[in-house]
């Protein structure tokens, strides 16, 4: 279930580009091995290569979840988390915060709450991930992803999530 959740908002770009936070990317948002010079040199890949990279990146995200999450997940929750980790990364101590590991070295609050069985509390942590590299993410993509993830964890968040998405969409359309 994570594939459409991830592919649709990412979109396919066969030429290397800088994402909204300035990170060199290609394909469906893959950053693995993509450099600034690849963007400058307009490196291109085939759709088949984009698919291969996407599958590898999804498998890495799923593996990170399999190693870190200690509670049972529904297929929908698992798919939503794969999409989330695909986008924010698992994290690396001393380098970058992510779902599994914060830059400081400890687990994210979202992961701690999830592993404690507090799915609603874990879902409430999504708001802490609205920036990447200090830059706000595209609010439309964020709203869709947040809703999908929140719905996966607790259907009681549907109304709140939809209301927030509509407000963010209205704010985004003003710019």
* Three-class SS state of 13: strand
Catalytic position from the list 1, 10, 57, 159: 10
**What is the distance between the alpha carbons of residues 101 and 110, in angstroms, rounded to a whole number?**
10
Catalytic position from the list 1, 19, 59, 159: 19
Residue 35, both tokens: 């450099």
Q: Is 10 a catalytic site residue? A: yes
CA dihedral 58, 63, 65, 67 (to 10 degrees): -170
Catalytic residues: 10, 19
């Amino acid at each position: 279930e994570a594939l459409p959740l991830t592919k649709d908002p990412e979109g396919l770009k066969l030429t290397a580009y800088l994402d909204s936070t300035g990170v060199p990317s290609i394909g469906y948002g893959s950053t693995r091995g993509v450099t600034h010079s690849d963007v400058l040199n307009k490196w291109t890949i085939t759709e088949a290569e984009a698919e291969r990279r996407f599958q590898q990146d999804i498998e890495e995200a799923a593996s990170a979840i399999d190693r870190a999450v200690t509670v049972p997940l529904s297929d929908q929750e698992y798919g939503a988390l794969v999409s989330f980790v695909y986008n924010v990364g698992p994290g690396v101590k001393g380098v970058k915060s992510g779902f599994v590991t914060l830059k400081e070295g400890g687990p994210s609050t979202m992961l701690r709450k999830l592993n404690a069985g507090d799915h609603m509390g874990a879902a409430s942590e999504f708001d802490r991930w609205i920036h990447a590299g200090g830059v706000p993410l595209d609010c439309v993509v964020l709203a869709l992803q947040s809703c999908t993830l929140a719905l996966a964890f607790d259907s009681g968040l549907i109304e709140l999530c939809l209301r927030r998405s509509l407000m963010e969409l209205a704010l985004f359309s003003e710019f």
